[in-house]
Chain A
Amino acid sequence: MMIRILSIEIENFKAIGHGVVKMPCMLNQFAAGKTDIVGIYGKNGSGKTSVVEVLALLKALWTGSRLNDAVLGDCLRANSGDMVVKAELQYWDGEKEYSLFYEVTLQRVAKEADDGKKYTGVVIQKEQLRAKEEGKRYAQKKILVAYDISHGFKSEQAVQGAVLFKRLKKIFHGELDIRLSQCAQNVSSYLCSTELRKALLQVDAEKGNLVEALRAYAIGKLIIVGRNEAGLIACNFAQPLNIYLPGKGAGQLPLPLSSPGVIPLVAYRFACSAMDSINALLPVLIKDCSISLKSLGEEFDSENERCVRCQLMVKHGVYEGPLSMESEGIKRLISILHLLIGVYNNEDVMVAVDELDSGIYEFLLGEILQVLRQGAKGQLIFTSHNLRPMEMLDAHSVLLTTNDPDDCFARFASSRVKGSTNMRNMYLRAIQLGEDKLDVEANIHSAEIAHAFIKAAQSVAP
């Protein structure tokens, strides 16, 4: 079973009015074995990070997790429509291929917390999953599950849908609408809730399996490294070691840096099994550098679970000691290294990294991306301010944020990118001089900046 993301469409989220992020595999007519990397570039505040955040949102929805709706409420702009996210995915189980179309609508609402404080939150207004079997003539997009909390479960005109609807209703003894609205208020996906998944499997195994597959993908293959993690490293609090083990899943271990910490035994074993593969690559990238997880003995936590007191150690040349002493860049690289190994070797892994370039030596970053472009099997979405990767990637892999809130993402026209085009130079020219059909001008002028520096000092009160 394999799922890959083909495109993400976003409406009304932070700076994004409307934007579509298409993966290169979709533009390349799914050419198997082709690299599927997207680097998102653009000004500060233009919506790069929002793409990674939306992927994190999808992961949370598909795993049935509760969303942080107070935070989301602030991300939805007042006076604009509901936030809508549409994702198109490719599903392949070895025999059948489906295109899956997921859609969710979040509405901004005034809420009251348990302690009576009022805040702006969200509710999940609508959710929908449709599927189209590929390779069949006259195949249509059929609704697998769809609801709108104002109407309840929708029955598709197609007979199958109606039958499904009736049978689901029977299972839940007419309580379907109540459960649904509970889920919507709690801000978690009802579509991917345990209850509905079980029921779906009972009434229609094939449809149920598609929802199961989506959930399994979100848990084990869709891995997000957001800005919070970068923040964690900077304050030297915890090293989130991101790990992907094929067949075992993905995870992020907040291992303490400055002092030994206590983590569950399961997590310790999970992390240990990743050390060898990290150490196979790390010394090649940073000479004479390797890490280890040092156990300081077992203990039990308050819930009587077996835990290990341990510390991340580094050996770098003659230095040997806690990883906390290493540079920010090395910590950052170690933090995401295992995911890059995952992307390189596994077709069904999607890793999204915000600020991939954060703290990493430009030349090394370029070389790593070149290697990934040439051989990576999985999918990678990253944001970057460093433009070096542009020189290393294909035209399809470079996505630019635009000045147009209604069409936030664009690529260079393929006719403009010739064999010998250096896209970094092309981008630098485009943001200064403009580019046909591409609204990416930066409007930054050094004379204005120099003048502002003088003015800024004048406006300081004596």
Chain B
Amino acid sequence: MKKRKKGVILIVEGVTEQIALGTILQRLAETLNLRVTVVNGDITSDDDSEPSNVRKKLGDLVKLEMQRSSFRKDDVAGVALLMDTDGAFVPNEAIMEINLGEKVHRRRGSEASSNFRYTEECIFTTNRQKAEVRNERKSRNMMLLRGMKDVRGIPFAAFYMSRNMEHVIAAKAENLTSREKSLIASDFNDSYVGNLSAFKTLINSPDIVKYKQIDGDFRQRYVLSWEYIEQKGSLRSLARASNINLLVELLEHFGNAQNSNNS
């Protein structure tokens, strides 16, 4: 007799996150069906994302995915959001204005991220004032979202990758082209999809888990992990760190709950 699964909606910024993590996370929780929503953008830093509307934006994304998958509210165990920190929490002193050289014509629609260059110590940008506004908006939006306990009545949690996914999974701090990112994502999937315990070891390693480890319930540890990255005046959101070990823990929790429900 076949048992019904539960759905989980995982919202990620780009297709590389989907490629690198989608299949691995799906394999970690076989009693769940993971639907990966690729935003192709960043709901925390897009120009039209404000603290006043970012929660609604998240709700709309979830609503759309529910419609696309035909899931009903009680089909979905939870919604998870994966965000790059992109140095959002660094102090303004860490934002440096530089001239990126002669102004060359860029093809319309080419990546806007080239206005930023990241190191582990600072953000280089062509327009410091704009970058400060963006960081202010992005950090506030991230804090608002990670504080949400549910979205459209479905349990919700947000997870960060600092400074971005490539930094976390491949220790690459440099600025990469989209082709390089694709290859890293694809190779990462290939390395770990057949070795899930190695994946878990990696994301639980001290290189990635930087927040203080305590015995406590999930929510306590979740808040602690965020407070680490958000710390005022620090450069932590440019350094390598992530709390996706908690995402895996949550997926396994949902999966186990599903097992005990069915048996």
Residues of A within 8 A of B (CB): 424-426, 428-429, 432-439, 441, 445-448, 450-451, 454-455, 458
Contact = CB atoms under 8 A, between A and B. Distances in A.
Interface string B58-78: 000000000001111001000
A451 B23 contact: yes
A177 B254 CA distance: 67
Contact of A432 (B22, B69, B190): B69
A435 B2 contact: yes
A433 B190 CA distance: 26
Interface stretch (B3-11, B47-55, B137-145, B203-211): B3-11
Interface stretch (B99-107, B181-189, B236-244): B181-189
Interface of B: 1-7, 15, 18-19, 21-23, 26, 33-36, 69-72, 75, 182-183, 185-186, 189-190
B18 A446 contact: yes
Q: Interface residues of A: mostly helix, strand, loop or mixed?
A: helix
B191 to A, nearest CB: 12
Contacts of A424: 70
B22 A433 contact: no
Contacts of B15: 450
Contacts of A441: 2
A447 B23 contact: yes
Contacts of B7: 432-433
A58 B35 CA distance: 44
Nearest to A387: B70
A413 B150 CA distance: 33
Nearest to A440: B2
Contacts of A437: 1-2
Contact of A435 (B4, B6, B23, B186): B4
Contacts of B23: 445, 447-448, 451
B26 A428 contact: no
B19 A436 contact: no
B18 A434 contact: no
A448 B22 contact: yes
Nearest to B186: A454
A313 B182 CA distance: 53
A259 B57 CA distance: 58
Contacts of B1: 436-437
A447 B15 CA distance: 9
